[in-house]
């Protein structure tokens, strides 16, 4: 792992583009609220009562399109934050790394524009999604190749397995797309028209993969945070590496028995439970280590 300082141009480029992406995420929250207020469509009764003529509705096409764009950001931008940060530690050339960060940020902004602000026919959204996706894949592979022979030190093993988990998140995105195209079932009209498919929101196979993806989004970012904090407690390297390795294997198995080859319970319960216990353990160790700071 290379030595890094805030004066490093790669670090600075990562920080500024990450901040822009964070602001972009916040802007979609505002965009969703504006659409709800303008159309007087809400998800909660107490919100609907605030405006005359407001009503509770869960399938407004404009609001749902913005929410899908927001969810797509939540599926991709946190992965960039992690993979990008680890990619910086591999010592990439400043010009090339900055170009990757810049392209990722620009195309994620374009993705939201052509998806939720001014919807355009495909392949505009696919291009705006695909280029950042390829960039994350590249960074994730570079991280794994850099750290794959350094499994013993705790920090390096954390980076390696976090990179693998980042690529796993991206893989489930591909899996969702494969199922949609195989069944010709889509969430957006422009996608359905392109393949002579249909718009449907409750296909059981698609929804199963999406639930597996959502389960990853509920758990893997927590591991990234707690795993990094756990390292500050100076755990024994072999034990920490074992925890990171088992967690990663468990999350991969969870997706397999949930969305790839569904198995009866308790297969999914075990694949979920073991990584969950590991994150709880790491969180407990962090709290007890720093308890006096409360």
115 and 204 in a single domain? The answer is: no
Question: By the 8 A CB rule, do 48 and 42 touch?
Answer: yes
pLDDT lower than 70: segments of the chain? 1-3, 150-152
Query: Phi and psi at residue 73, in whole multiples of 5°?
Result: -65, -45
Instruction: Please report where in the chains the tokens 């504006």 appear, as a residue.
Output: 34
Q: Which of 94, 121, 150 is the last residue of a domain?
A: 150
Longest CA–CA separation in the chain, Å: 63
Residue in 218, 211, 30 with CA at minimum distance from that of residue 117 = 30
Number of structural domains the chain divides into: 2
| Residue 204 pLDDT | 93
The two structure tokens encoding residue 117: 């602000």
Residue 266: CB atoms within 10 A of its CB come to 11
**What are the pLDDT digits (tens) for 235-280?**
999 999 999 999 999 999 999 999 999 999 999 999 999 999 999 9
Alpha-carbon distance of 140 to 83, in angstroms, equals 6
Per-residue DSSP letters for 119-135?
---TTHHHHHHHHHHHH
| Residue 209 pLDDT | 95
DSSP for residue 292: G
DSSP for residue 50: T
The two structure tokens encoding residue 265: 């319970």
Alpha-carbon distance of 187 to 59, in angstroms, equals 12
Range of the domain at 139: 7-150
145 and 156 in a single domain? The answer is: no
The answer to whether position 88 is within a domain reads yes
Q: Which of 150, 171, 193 is the last residue of a domain?
A: 150
For 171, residues 6+ apart whose C-beta sits below 8 A from its C-beta are: none
Helix 204-231 to helix 61-88 angle (10° resolution) is 40
Question: By the 8 A CB rule, do 268 and 181 touch?
Answer: no
The CATH code of the domain that includes 279 is 1.20.120.550
Alpha-carbon distance of 281 to 287, in angstroms, equals 10
The answer to whether position 2 is within a domain reads no
Give CA torsion, residues 275, 70, 185, 211, to 10 deg. Answer: 20
Q: Which of 112, 129, 150 is the last residue of a domain?
A: 150
135 and 13 in a single domain? The answer is: yes
24 and 56 in a single domain? The answer is: yes
Question: By the 8 A CB rule, do 186 and 170 touch?
Answer: no
The two structure tokens encoding residue 18: 């990450």
In b/e form, how buried is each residue of 145-157, taking b as 16+ CB within 10 angstroms?
ebbeeeeeebebb
For 226, residues 6+ apart whose C-beta sits below 8 A from its C-beta are: 279, 282, 283, 286
**What are the pLDDT digits (tens) for 202-246?**
899 999 999 999 999 999 999 999 999 999 999 999 999 999 999
| Helix/strand/coil percent split, the chain, to 5 | 75, 5, 20
pTM here is 0.85
Instruction: Please report where in the chains the tokens 């700071």 appear, as a residue.
Output: 293
Q: Report the sign of the C-alpha dihedral through residues 160, 161, 166, 167, in that order.
A: positive
64 and 124 in a single domain? The answer is: yes
167 and 146 in a single domain? The answer is: no
């Amino acid at each position: 792992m290379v030595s890094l300082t805030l004066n490093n141009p790669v670090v600075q480029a990562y920080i500024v583009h990450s901040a822009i992406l964070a602001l972009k995420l916040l802007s979609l929250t505002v965009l969703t609220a504006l659409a709800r207020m303008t159309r007087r469509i809400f998800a909660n009764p107490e919100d609907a009562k605030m405006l005359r003529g407001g009503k509770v509705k869960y399938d407004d096409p404009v609001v749902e399109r913005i929410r899908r764009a927001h969810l797509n950001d939540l599926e991709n931008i946190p992965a960039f934050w992690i993979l990008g940060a680890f990619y910086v530690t591999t010592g990439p050339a400043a010009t090339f790394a900055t170009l990757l960060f810049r392209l990722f940020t620009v195309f994620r902004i374009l993705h939201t524009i052509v998806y939720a602000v001014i919807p355009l026919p495909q392949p505009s959204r696919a291009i705006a999604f695909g280029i950042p996706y390829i960039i994350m894949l590249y960074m994730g592979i570079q991280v794994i190749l850099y750290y794959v022979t350094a499994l013993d030190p705790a920090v390096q093993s954390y980076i390696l397995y976090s990179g693998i988990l980042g690529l796993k998140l991206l893989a489930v995105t591909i899996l969702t797309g494969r199922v949609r195209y195989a069944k010709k079932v889509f969430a957006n009209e422009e996608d359905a028209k392109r393949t002579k498919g249909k718009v449907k929101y409750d296909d059981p196979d698609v929804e199963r993969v999406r639930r597996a993806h959502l389960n990853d989004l509920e758990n893997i970012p927590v591991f990234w945070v707690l795993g990094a904090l756990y390292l500050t407690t100076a755990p024994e390297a072999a034990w920490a590496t074992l925890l990171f390795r088992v967690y990663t294997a468990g999350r991969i198995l969870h997706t397999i028995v949930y969305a790839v080859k569904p198995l009866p319970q308790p297969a999914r319960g075990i694949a979920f439970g073991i990584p969950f216990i590991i994150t709880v353990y790491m969180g407990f160790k962090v709290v007890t280590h720093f308890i006096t700071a409360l």
